Amino acid sequence: MREYETVFIIDPSCDESQVEQEINSVKEIIAAGEGKVVEAESWGRRRLAYDIRKKKEGTYAFVRFSGEPSVLQELNRRLKLNELILRHLVVVSQKAEEEETDSGYAESGGSDAYESEDSLDY
């Protein structure tokens, strides 16, 4: 399972209980796909860099989770359909990427995979 991070912007007309409800619905989607929520928090209301659906502000929420790609597909699908979500972004967690590159470097013996022309047999 890979570790992912998602940030989504919730419509500013939602109150705190609705924001918590949206975060919980994301947690439920992840749990239904046999994923595991590592961290979830509301970042609060912030001004947007540009208008989205004629809104100047939005409530940001962050969720870090681990799961299979099928969880990611279902989460993306459901967030696109939810009219209260203005925007969302899901990325592979940077912590997980660093761990993978560190282990890959150790497995290869620490040498570059590039071979010079001198070492090739013709």
Q: What is the pTM of this model?
A: 0.75
Condensed to tens digits (0 to 9), the pLDDT of residues 80-110 reads 999 999 999 999 988 755 666 665 544 444 4
Task: Write the pLDDT tens digit of every residue in 19-55.
Answer: 999 999 999 999 999 999 999 999 999 999 999 999 9
Positive or negative: CA dihedral 3, 77, 59, 14:
negative
User: Is residue 38 assigned to a domain?
Assistant: yes
Residue 78 is assigned to a structural domain of this protein: yes
Q: Which range of residues forms the domain containing residue 81?
A: 2-94
Total domain count, the chain: 1
> Has residue 107 been placed in a domain?
no
| CATH number for the domain harbouring residue 30 | 3.30.70.60
Answer whether residue 99 is part of any domain: no
